[in-house]
Amino acid sequence: MGRIDTLLGDITQVKADAIVNAANCTLLGGGGVDGAIHRAAGPELLAECRTLNGCKTGQAKITKGYRLPAKFVIHTVGPIWRGGGHGERELLVSAYRSSLELAMANGCETVAFPLISSGVYGYPKDQALKVAVDTIGEFLLSHDMTVYLVIFDRAAYTIGGKLFADIAAYIDDRYVDDHTDSGETQRRRMVMASMPMAAAEQAAAAAPSGLDEALSKLDESFSQMLLRKIDECGMTDAQCYKKANIDRKLFSKIRSDVHYKPSKPTAMAFAVALELPLEEAREMLEKAGFAFSHASKFDIIVEYFIAHQNYNIFEINEALFAFDQSLLGG
């Protein structure tokens, strides 16, 4: 509910309420994703499409799924790339929004998208990906739906070259050091990293308003810290779990069980959603029983974004996917 995930594979095999077809204006089939969906759905799909009288760029129409696992196919027409100065971005945003609104109007709770216009229509893949993630993410802030972004091959899923290089250098500076030290140095680092701060030091660091407050924070569970931070940030529960790409049911479990221990990606997702600085993000992870580790590329990538004060969870997930890591959320 209210979350976006990425899948690697064939969109015609996705079991969702609706899959989105990157169609042409005739809606009568074509190459790429369009042709694959028509072949998998069978001739009945083409017969229904003939009754729709085509579709304008940036708009969407819906049909049955026929032989597909999906109940519906939402056909949308993305823009042809002409250099970026002919309203391409606005039309691509409209294609995604029109599809999402049509899915919502037809009671769909799960929808799978291809990367629209990034094939023969020539839209640069990194820019197409950003439009998809931003538009879907914005829609999900006010709607409960699970959206899958289905990538046929990993090469199609790219982040900007400079960002990729910056993250790779950040990983290299930290990850390589931990893996090239002597065994004794690594053991010493692991021991030091596993040693908790003294209670007095924690209290001094966390307590601007007195010892009682500091001691109460020492005993906080993950759930209690999360709810406190939501209040301090002036967010509603829904704003927080949607921004964290977290399922509403999972959030309800965390809220109702003071001793609930989330997964590491879930704990990190909340730290990102709350826009916590790195030290507070570390504290939240500790409450869940984890710590940032420079032996983990996943941890280093998330640390990179927090250190650079970029808290867009969908951009973080783009980078995690590009480096073959699991995604934030839950």
Distance CA 299, CA 297 (A): 5
Strands (DSSP E) along the chain, which ranges? 3-8, 18-23, 60-64, 72-77, 110-113, 146-151
Q: Which residue has the tokens 């990993």?
A: 154
* Burial class of residue 207, CB neighbours in 10 A (0-12, 13-18, 19+): middle
Q: Which of 17, 34, 247, 299 is catalytic?
A: 34
Cβ-based neighbour number of residue 67 at 10 Å = 13
Residue 34 annotated in active site: yes
Question: Any long-range contacts for 10-15 (C-beta under 8 Å, 24+ apart)?
Answer: 10/36, 10/150, 10/152, 11/36, 11/37, 11/112, 11/114, 11/150, 11/152, 12/36, 12/37, 12/40, 12/41, 12/68, 13/69, 14/69, 14/70, 14/112, 14/148, 14/150, 15/69, 15/70
For 162-189, the DSSP string reads: HHHHHHHHHHHHHHHHHHHS-HHHHHHH
* 266 sits in which H/E element: helix 264-273
What single-letter DSSP state applies at residue 155?
A: G
Residue environment code for 165-185, b if the CB has 16+ CB neighbours within 10 A, otherwise e: eebeebbeebbeebeeeeeee
Read off the tokens for 184.
């004794």
The residues carrying an active-site annotation are 34
